[in-house]
Amino acid sequence: MDIHELSNLRPSDTVILVMGITGSGKSSFISQLLQEDVDIIGHDLTSHTSKVSIFMLNYEDDRRVFLLDTPGFDDTYRSDAEILRDITFVLARVYQCGISVAGVIYMHRITDNRISGSSVRNLEILRKLCGPDAFPRIVLTSSMWDSAAQDPVLLQEAFDREEQLKSMGNFWGSLYHGGSHIIRWMGDRESAFGAIRYLMDFNDAHGSTALKIQKELVDEEKSLDATEAGRILRDGFAQALVKQQGELEDLSSELSHALQEGNNEVALQLLEAIDTTEHQLERLKTSQSAIKTSLEHLAEDKTREYRNIHTQVQEELQLMLESVRQCQEDCQRLVEEQRTTIEALQEAQRENELPVASGSRPKRTPKPNEKPQRQSKGEQVELAGRKGGLDKQTKRKRRKVLLQNSLPMLSILAGIGAAVGGGFAINPALIIAGFGLVVGGASKLNFSRRTKKGERQDELFSRDSMVGLAST
């Protein structure tokens, strides 16, 4: 589902966030719940999609739970500011649509030997996003227990590490003492569903409540950098800017000293370091500017972003359609080659058929330079048998090719329909799914099988075999 379709949700629907650093097991957790692979966004479309992915889970009593797979605040390709903008925009839209957020599932690898700085920062932002009133709606979920269970030593270390996490105030401690629930995900659907059931039961028993960030953005109309979660990033950016500017001044001073001494090799290295530091400064300034935005401006930015996506997808759709047309031409060529082969076979068979009437064999006038040939009754029987076998072989191979290509072609046509529909609806998720069907179908089309020498195997009878048959 696309985030612009959140207004189509029903009042009975529920949203649950899945958070954690990169590699903590968020996608695997959701895959187990849905019993399917959620890592379906690939090829060249990855850069076109929002990193907040939404998946529907059919819950008990025909209720729908929408899982928000969020990126961690340690993403290699996107800044923390961009990620916070995406997450807060989705949460604000959900709140505006009157849809309740049952809670948050926070993932952490129990096998990690140390607490990384990015883990601490992710949890700090989580606390500010939710607020103390929503701490009981957070399920602290540790992953990799299925791996730890394979070794008694590793398992005991995991137990000890879990107790350590609960005792650390800057990690799980403050959340745990504030009412957050802790579960162990064993890598299966049952334990994953246990986290969902806990949040749903809690929401049913206590009713829904807004998260801190939802109240700040929608009810209090704060800008993103004025929210508690935004201030964490804002202060971090300010400190990083001061640090980078100091490093830039030091590098510039060292460069001047190196030039005065005529040390060109060191000067070149310093120039590269200065260039890198300047790029980092620009990224920090861009991030600072990105969180200085209101919800209204954020919505406008997202609208422009999806319009650009629509334009790019339309261009790629045209390329896909051209590929499909090429596939159709190749299929037509295959059919024509098979028809030509069959006609050549039939012609060869007609040349070798000798009419038999009243027990006599009519004489055939030999062609110039042609040696006289005679066919015995046994040879005619053998020829008839070979003809029948060749006919069956031709039909079998034609049916095989058609069967092999029928499903891929249906997949391609369905994918084109989905992509076109998604393009008109400005629905990137549907467009991506359609492209996936087209690419998958095209990759499975089978036009010809080749031998090691490059000769076509699906040309059922070569010229030499025809001549051999004719000379029988």
41-83: pLDDT as tens digits: 333 333 333 478 889 999 988 899 999 999 888 777 788 999 9
* Contact of 103 with 69, CB cutoff 8 Å: no
Domain co-membership, 53 together with 149: yes
* Contact of 128 with 212, CB cutoff 8 Å: yes
Predicted confidence at residue 337, as pLDDT, reads: 81
210-238 CB burial, b ≥16 within 10 A, e <16: bbbbbbbbbeeebbbbbbbbbebbbeebe
Examine residue 197 and state whether it is found in any structural domain, yes or no. yes
Domain co-membership, 283 together with 347: no
Residues 6 or more apart whose Cβ sits within 8 Å of residue 263: none
For 312-356, write each residue's pLDDT tens digit: 767 777 787 787 788 878 888 888 888 888 888 777 777 776 554
Predicted confidence at residue 185, as pLDDT, reads: 95
Residue 469 to residues 92, 185, 314, Cα–Cα distance (Å): 77, 69, 54
- CATH value at residue 170: 3.40.50.300
Predicted confidence at residue 460, as pLDDT, reads: 38
Examine residue 368 and state whether it is found in any structural domain, yes or no. no
* Contact of 41 with 197, CB cutoff 8 Å: no
Predicted confidence at residue 368, as pLDDT, reads: 53
Kindly report the average pLDDT of the chain as a whole number: 79
* Contact of 423 with 314, CB cutoff 8 Å: yes
CA distance 7 to 96: 9
Examine residue 199 and state whether it is found in any structural domain, yes or no. yes
Predicted confidence at residue 379, as pLDDT, reads: 61
Domain co-membership, 122 together with 161: yes
Domain co-membership, 48 together with 119: yes
HEC readout, the chain: CCHHHHHHCCCCCEEEEEEECCCCCHHHHHHHHHCCCCCCCCCCCHHHCCCCEEEEEECHHHCEEEEEECCCCCCCCCCHHHHHHHHHHHHHHHHHCCCEEEEEEEEEECCCCCCCHHHHHHHHHHHHHHCHHHHHHEEEEEECHHHHCCCHHHHHHHHHHHHHHHHCHHHHHHHHHCCCEEEECCCCHHHHHHHHHHHHHHHHHHCCCCCHHHHHHHHCCCCHHHCHHHHHHHHHHHHHHHHHHHHHHHHHHHHHHHHHCCCHHHHHHHHHHHHHHHHHHHHHHHHHHHCCCCHHHHHHHHHHHHHHHHHHHHHHHHHHHHHHHHHHHHHHHHHHHHHHHHHHHHHHHHHHCCCCECCECCCCCCCCCCCCCCCCHHHHHHHHHHHHHHHHHHHHHHHHHHHHHHHHHHHHHHHHHHHHHHHHHCCHHHHHHHHHHHHHHHHHCCCCCECCCCCECCCCCCHHHHHHHHCC
Examine residue 363 and state whether it is found in any structural domain, yes or no. no
**Domain containing residue 249:** 228-293
Examine residue 362 and state whether it is found in any structural domain, yes or no. no
Examine residue 358 and state whether it is found in any structural domain, yes or no. no
Domain end position, chosen among 167, 192, 221:
221
Backbone angles phi, psi at 73, to 5 degrees: -85, 45
Domain end position, chosen among 275, 293, 311:
293
- Within 10 angstroms of residue 61's Cβ, the number of other Cβ atoms is 5
Predicted confidence at residue 297, as pLDDT, reads: 84
Domain co-membership, 247 together with 342: no
- Within 10 angstroms of residue 359's Cβ, the number of other Cβ atoms is 5
Examine residue 365 and state whether it is found in any structural domain, yes or no. no
Sort strands 64-69 and 100-109 into parallel, antiparallel or unpaired.
unpaired
Number of structural domains in the chain: 3
Domain co-membership, 243 together with 266: yes
| pTM (2 d.p.) | 0.64
Domain co-membership, 114 together with 177: yes
State both tokens at 12.
């009975």
Domain end position, chosen among 244, 275, 293:
293
Domain co-membership, 69 together with 201: yes
Of the candidates 11, 186, 10, 202, the one whose C-alpha atom is nearest the C-alpha of residue 104 is 202
Sort strands 100-109 and 14-20 into parallel, antiparallel or unpaired.
parallel
Domain co-membership, 453 together with 390: yes
Q: Residue 365 corresponds to which amino acid?
A: T
Predicted confidence at residue 459, as pLDDT, reads: 41
Domain co-membership, 129 together with 167: yes
Torsion of CA 348, 352, 356, 362, to 10 degrees: 120
* Contact of 412 with 437, CB cutoff 8 Å: yes
Domain co-membership, 314 together with 433: yes
Examine residue 253 and state whether it is found in any structural domain, yes or no. yes
List the chain residues with pLDDT less than 70.
Answer: 1-7, 38-50, 306, 309-310, 313, 353-392, 394-407, 411, 415, 417-472
Domain co-membership, 160 together with 288: no
